[in-house]
Amino acid sequence: MTALVIAAAGPGITLQDSGRNGYLRYGITAAGPMDPLLHATANRAAGNALDATAIEISTGGVTLSAEGGAIGLALIAPGFRVALDGAALPDRTAVTLEAGRTLVVRAGDAGSWGYCAVSGRIAVAPVLGSTATHTRSGLGGLDGRGLSAGDRLPVDETRSGDVAPQRLVMPWLDRDPRVIRVVLGPQDDYFAADQIDAFLAGPWTISPRGDRMACFLDGTPLTHAKGHDIVSDGVAMGAIQVPGNGLPIVLMADRQSTGGYPKIATVIGPDLGRLAQVRGGARIAFRQVTVAEAVAARRAERDVLHEPVAREPVVRTDFASDFLLGLNLVGGVADGRA
Amino acid sequence: MSATPDEPRLLDAGEAALVVEFGSTVDPAISDRVLALDDALGADPPEGLRERVPTYRSLMLHYDPLVLDRAALVERVRALAAGTTERTANTTLWTLPCCYAAPHGEDISQVAERTGLSPDAVVATHAGATYRVYMYGFAPGFAYLGGLPEVLAVPRRASPRPPHPANAVVIGGGLAAVATVPMPTGWYVIGATPARLYAPERDRSFFVGAGDLIRFEPVDAATFDALSAREAAGEPVARRWESRT
């Protein structure tokens, strides 16, 4: 049987489909990709359904090899460093991984999350209708945990492509991460007008202690007009809650389904991935939009996923020695988005 | 967006979720309205409505705004909320076996100390009440229950205690809960049920719904073990009663 082998993996490498939907009412987190656009794009480039299971790559990095046959891969990891048997490849690449060859993906100058989709199907059993990994509750993926060295992912329905690597040309992935659009609410009435203004004006610095559950913001603390405890209500992905210390927390893919802090605003769907990609220490600002504007942005993002993916042959270029020397260090890279 | 007492507030949570808020407190009457709307939408869900999440005081609706227009959803919600004030579904009552004895009721003596009741009185009081499932949240299958007798209303711990086993029966902050997955908790663990409210591998992973009623039936440790074995073999040990209200 053909299998994709995890030869090495840093922390935070998981299998994700588009998320576990339908069980929020029972306290089951949706999980799914931190950057939904990149995840869908990788699947599109691999010729899969947009919601298919793919490997989510953290800055921990991963090393992949193929067993039992060649596997076509689409790797979308903007800002990451990618190499096939030591030869550098673009961070948006279609490549056929033949048995015995090794693909290395490590953190580069930018970007927190990348995606690797196979041309075919990663054959892991869905749990509650989804393969999305939620490590906190031990659901989905491979035994509900992150991937680690020695794991073998069986691949069905493999389709072969060109053996030579190709650069994937997708201009829509060049997004501006510095301005994150939000819709105010649902509990913006827990804040006075000057605090809403202060929230929107920022600036906010992304804390390095974020993970798949939440993105923590550092800056001037906000004050509450009506206290910081509410009776629990539902939590959307992208909800920005403000706990007692006044520092906003953006709730991401692994968030809990309900929560008890006032939520001043909600990051719009198309900007969730942009926010997820920002590394710790970087500054962002928020911009208020209407629901109608957010829906228009969502529609534009959906439409872009139906545009053709252009492919260019890869010309071997950079072989900087520090890069080559660093290739086999991937297993020891520390976690985090810093 | 100004709301009369009878009209829920509609709050956007981004462009893909709408909070229908019936109040801001824990109150069975508010919960009834939440669950009535949940039932009504569940009976005939508009295309594009992805998830309904009932909470103590609100119903969160996750929707795909490219399929279901916000204005259409709002119109539907307003019409249903105006016309539906009582639940249409039957009331389901579950009897869950519960072992309060050692080693399960780890924190009973602490609850006894804080309430001034004897340990036996803590058990009798907890087992004598009927609870309503207000909502799930916090963790998979974690069921928040209302109906805890006032005398057992101890505040939650300031810092969490070590993890409890699966299916712990807990109290804290004036509420009761069944905590299905092991985790550190600020609640007091007063027992355990052999019934698995959450089992991801089971056909029906959850069987207790928001709005259902629960009673706990004390069993000794040997019975708990026997019932746990039956539950593990696929034979449910929770008993179900149904009545039309």
Look at residue B151 and give its three-state secondary structure.
Answer: helix
A139 and A52 within one domain:
yes
Residue A319: inside a domain: no
The larger pLDDT score, comparing residue A181 to residue A308, is at A181
Q: Give chain B's mean pLDDT.
A: 92
Chain A nearest-CA residue for B18? A186
**CATH code where residue A267 lies:** 2.40.100.10
Model confidence band, residue B114 (pLDDT cutoffs 50, 70, 90): very high
Q: Are residues A12 and A129 in the same domain?
A: yes
Segment A315-325 shows an average pLDDT of 53
Cβ–Cβ below 8 Å for A269 and B136: no
Q: Examine the fold and report which residue of A124, A148, A173 is the final residue of a domain before the chain moves on.
A: A173
**B205 neighbors B166 (Cβ within 8 angstroms):** no
Domain co-membership, A90 together with A66: yes
Q: Determine contact, residues A197/A282, Cβ cutoff 8 Å.
A: no
Which residue range is the domain that position A105 belongs to? 3-173
Q: What is the pLDDT of residue A134?
A: 97
Average pLDDT over residues A148-174: 89
Would you say residue A139 lies in a domain?
Answer: yes
Q: Are residues A162 and A231 in the same domain?
A: no
Q: What is the pLDDT of residues A266-283, one digit of tens each?
A: 999 999 999 999 999 999
**Whether A290 and A191 share a structural domain:** yes
Residues A196 and A211 in one domain: yes
**Residues A230 and A257 occupy one common structural domain:** yes
* B84 pLDDT more than 80: no
Q: Which residues neighbour A7 within 8 Å (Cβ) at sequence distance 6 or greater? A: A63, A64, A65, A102, A149
Higher per-residue pLDDT: A63 or B183: A63
Residue A327 forms part of a structural domain = no
What does the pLDDT read at residue A338? 37
User: Are A267 and B15 inside 8 Å of each other by CB?
Assistant: no
Q: Which residues pair with A204 in a beta bridge?
A: A284
pLDDT at A333 over 90: no
Q: What is the pLDDT of residues A217-265, one digit of tens each?
A: 999 999 999 888 888 889 999 999 999 999 999 999 999 999 889 999 9
**Residue after which a domain boundary falls, among A152, A173, A194:** A173
pLDDT digits (tens, 9 = 90+) for B59-76: 999 999 999 999 999 999
Residues A162, A184, single domain; the answer is no
C-alpha span between B68 and B62 (Å, rounded): 10
Q: Are residues A139 and A185 in the same domain?
A: no
Tell me if A233 and B14 make a contact (CB, 8 A cut-off): no
pLDDT tens profile B161-193: 999 999 999 999 889 999 999 988 899 999 999
Q: Which pLDDT value is given to residue B221?
A: 97
Share of chain B above pLDDT 70, in %: 96
- Calculate the alpha carbon distances from B11 to A162, A187, A231, A296, B47 in Å: 50, 8, 15, 19, 20
Give B240's pLDDT tier (boundaries 50, 70, 90): very high
Which residues in chain A are closer than 8 Å to B205, comparing Cβ atoms?
23, 26, 128
Instruction: Check whether residue A136 and residue A156 sit in a common domain.
Output: yes
Is residue A220 within 8 angstroms of chain B, CB to CB? no
Q: Output the pLDDT for position A42.
A: 97
**Whether residues A97 and A223 fall in one domain:** no
pLDDT tens-digit map of A125-157: 999 999 999 999 999 999 999 999 999 999 998
Q: Is residue A338 part of a domain?
A: no
pLDDT of residue A60: 96
> What average pLDDT is seen over chain A?
91
Which of the two residues, A176 and A238, has the higher pLDDT score?
A238
Between CA B168 and CA A337 the distance in angstroms is 36
A135 shares a domain with A42: yes
Task: Inform me whether the pLDDT recorded for B88 exceeds 80.
Answer: no
The 3-state DSSP class for residue A166 equals strand
What's the pTM? 0.91
Mean pLDDT, residues A5-26 taken together: 97
How confident is the model over B12-35, as pLDDT tens digits?
Answer: 999 999 999 999 888 889 999 999
Q: Is the pLDDT of residue B244 over 80?
A: no
Residues A174-200, mean pLDDT to the nearest whole number: 94
In a domain, A334, yes or no: no
Q: Does A120 fall in a domain?
A: yes
Contact B13 A266 (CB under 8 A): yes
Q: Does B76 touch chain A (CB under 8 A)?
A: no
Domain count, chain A: 2
Picking from A122, A147, A173, the residue at the C-terminal end of a domain is A173
User: Is A309 within a domain?
Assistant: no
Query: Does the residue A62 lie in any domain?
Result: yes
Cα pseudo-dihedral A178, A337, A169, A35, rounded to 10? -80
